[in-house]
């Protein structure tokens, strides 16, 4: 379907869900204005709760400086309050809403506009699922009306490190691209400008893969340009050292477009959102 980016699941027993019918029932009005990207505050008790939960699953958060953690938690809280979480095949889960929000903030931490404000609805399914009239299994996908994630596979993505597979990061990368190029509001100027550089980087990489029939990235990356982007972002966060060592040009390009370097202490490269980061990440073994 045009406008949908699909991440295919491995062959597992499906939780059969008529997802297209459910989304029409649950959506409501989609044409609301963008939420303001404002500074929000959290109480000490909220900060402690969020920090303990996020830090128990997402190593990236534990690597942040104290100020970085405060900023991260504020963004997570703000993101969560701007979304409607729909739980399908499972009980309402506040921890899941916080952790899914944290996965979005992880991808967008270097950007000014981080709310993915086009997407008001996030659908959390218990396991892999099928869509109507479709034989494939999905563990997540992004469609114009919402972000869909299998909670089981969300947890797998963070519990198993360094395999370059993380469904939450993958789908948030798709949502970020959609929000900046296909949605009417919530655009981040830094991201749009630097994504053009990323696009020019992909040509030589794809040509090399076709020639040598081998790549550090998993083969799904070469389904199309949108999947190349999402799989690259997965590797960038799941095993940044491996990506930097094996595909340094791609790693540098992702640092630029996302305005962060996962291997640096401060993560954020340029708080001023210049087109070219003031700190250039070092590439090498």
Question: d(Cα 161, Cα 170) in Å, to the nearest integer?
Answer: 14
What pLDDT does 39 receive?
Answer: 63
pLDDT in tens, 252-263: 999 999 999 999
Q: What is the pLDDT of residues 38-52, one digit of tens each?
A: 668 899 999 999 999
For domain 5-181, give the fold: Cyclin A; domain 1 (1.10.472)
Helix H or strand E encompassing 130: strand 129-130
pLDDT recorded at residue 38: 60
Alpha-carbon distance of 103 to 175, in angstroms, equals: 12
Question: What are the residue ranges spanned by the domains of the chain?
Answer: 5-181, 189-258
pLDDT in tens, 16-72: 443 444 444 444 444 444 444 566 889 999 999 999 999 999 999 999 999 999 999
Phi, psi at residue 212, to the nearest 5°? -95, -10
């Amino acid at each position: 379907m045009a406008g949908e980016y699909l991440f295919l699941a491995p062959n597992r027993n499906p939780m059969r869900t008529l997802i297209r019918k459910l989304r029409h029932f649950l959506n409501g009005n989609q044409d609301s204005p963008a939420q303001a990207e404002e500074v929000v505050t959290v109480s000490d008790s909220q900060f402690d709760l969020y920090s303990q939960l996020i830090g128990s699953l997402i190593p990236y958060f534990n690597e942040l400086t104290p100020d970085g953690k405060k900023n991260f938690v504020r963004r997570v809280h703000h993101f969560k309050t701007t979304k409607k979480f729909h739980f399908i095949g499972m009980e309402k889960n506040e921890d899941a809403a916080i952790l899914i929000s944290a996965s979005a903030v992880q991808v967008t931490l270097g950007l000014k506009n981080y709310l993915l404000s086009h997407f008001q609805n996030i659908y959390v399914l218990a396991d892999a699922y099928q869509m109507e009239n479709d034989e494939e299994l999905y563990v997540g996908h992004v469609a114009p009306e919402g972000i869909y994630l299998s909670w089981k596979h969300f947890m797998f993505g963070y519990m198993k490190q360094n395999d370059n597979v993380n469904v939450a990061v993958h789908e948030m990368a798709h949502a970020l691209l959609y929000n900046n190029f296909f949605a009417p509001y919530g655009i981040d100027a830094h991201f749009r400008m630097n994504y053009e550089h990323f696009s020019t980087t992909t040509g030589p990489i794809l040509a090399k893969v076709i020639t040598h029939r081998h790549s550090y990235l998993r083969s799904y990356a070469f389904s199309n340009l949108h999947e190349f982007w999402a799989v690259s972002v997965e590797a960038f966060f799941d095993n940044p050292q491996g990506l930097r060592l094996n595909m340094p040009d791609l790693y540098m390009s992702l640092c630029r477009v996302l305005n962060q370097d996962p291997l640096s202490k401060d993560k954020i490269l340029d708080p001023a959102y210049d087109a070219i980061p003031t700190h250039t990440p070092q590439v090498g073994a």
